[in-house]
Amino acid sequence: MQSVYFDNSATTPLREEVVNTMMDVLKQHYGNASSSHSFGRTSKVLLEKSRNAVAKSLNVSAGEIIFTSGGTESNNLILKSAIQDIKINHIISSKIEHHAVLTTVEALQAQYGIKVSFVNLDAHGDVDYNHLEFLLNENSDLKTLVSLMHVNNEIGNILDLKKVSSLCANYQALFHTDAVQSVGHYKIDLQDVKIDFLSASAHKFHGPKGVGFAFIRKNSGLKPLILGGEQERGLRAGTESLHNIVALETALSKAEATLEQESTYIKDLKAYFINEIKKQIPDATFNGQSGNLNTSAYTILNVCLPLKMPGDMLLFQLDLKGIACSRGSACQSGSNKPSHVLAEILSIEALQKPSIRFSFSIFNTHAEADYVVNVLKEFVLNKK
């Protein structure tokens, strides 16, 4: 039995150089970056070096990068502070966002009575930009924040950041994007695309878990959620996790340096996987835009299989064969409910079939793809 990890949208394996960086910082640079002695000053230099590198990657100023524990905290910081501190009273989002956004928006609506609008989606799960403009125009008297993810974590659909940012600018709305699945995989220039807030997480691009960052455009007016110190420009109290932050910077720098080469390899692997599924399991279908190499993330494929069995049962069987994949967001694993993303775009009949998300990285191979497709084919043949 082989061991295949096709769940890179949930988390990615650490690069060797990232592990080495973390160990070096843990051993050699243990000073608190807020301390005034030489140990603290050395740590502070490393912290700000990492901040500058992340800022350079996004083409923003270092003061606009706030290190957090990851995407969920970044989303919470941005959304909650937008309501509390800059008096946003209308949020436009979609029903297929990550729960780190959806649950936070729901809580804010209950607590503050803000208006929440959901933009229409087409049959593939893409945002209806005409309806987005309608919502912006209809609510032009309200102070609006648009929160839409760049790459959907379940079906890989890609938002047109330029189009949304342009619409937001036209109607004086602020724009937040959850870019957890895209930072480290796509080049994002925040001078070219006028996004106000962005969330990212290191463990999606071969960095460590428990660290990420929020881009908060200067003079936004946001205030901290976590109080107790002046770390992170006063926006996130608490001693910085230096080894994680430096490792994040190492992972992002490596991803940026190898982006063209590695994205070409992974896209070829995804194309191969799609073609093999089409040949071996012709009744399988691809959810959202994930089966289209030109309109979906090259790292994500969501497959609906012609089987009459629950998705969690199929995942269990695949796990027994050494295959790691998922039904969707790892944050919702263990739930008996269907994916909230697929529930928005699939028919009742299609929802009765198991849909599985396969997500790829540079560490995967074509041989692994062959093994997984053959295992899936066996299940389909035996269960029909």
Q: Which residues are tagged catalytic?
A: 331
Calpha distance 195→377 (Å, rounded): 44
DSSP annotation of 186 reads: B
Angle between helical axes of 16-28 and 242-257 (0-180°, round to 10): 150
Burial class (CB in 10 A: 0-12, 13-18, 19+), 87: exposed
CA angle 202, 203, 205 (to 5 degrees): 75
Tokens of 109: 């609506």
- In Å, how far from its chain's centre is CA 341? 14
* β 300-304/115-118 pair status: unpaired
* CA nearest to 195, candidates 231, 236, 235, 163: 163
Calpha distance 200→215 (Å, rounded): 8
* CA nearest to 88, candidates 145, 133, 147: 145
Calpha distance 248→290 (Å, rounded): 27
Q: Are 255 and 247 in contact (CB under 8 A)?
A: no
Count Cα neighbours of 249 within 13 Å in the Cβ-side half-sphere: 23
Calpha distance 83→90 (Å, rounded): 9
Q: Are 381 and 296 in contact (CB under 8 A)?
A: no
Q: Are 92 and 100 in contact (CB under 8 A)?
A: no
226 three-class SS? coil
Residue with tokens 């608190």: 32
Calpha distance 362→343 (Å, rounded): 31
Calpha distance 3→324 (Å, rounded): 8
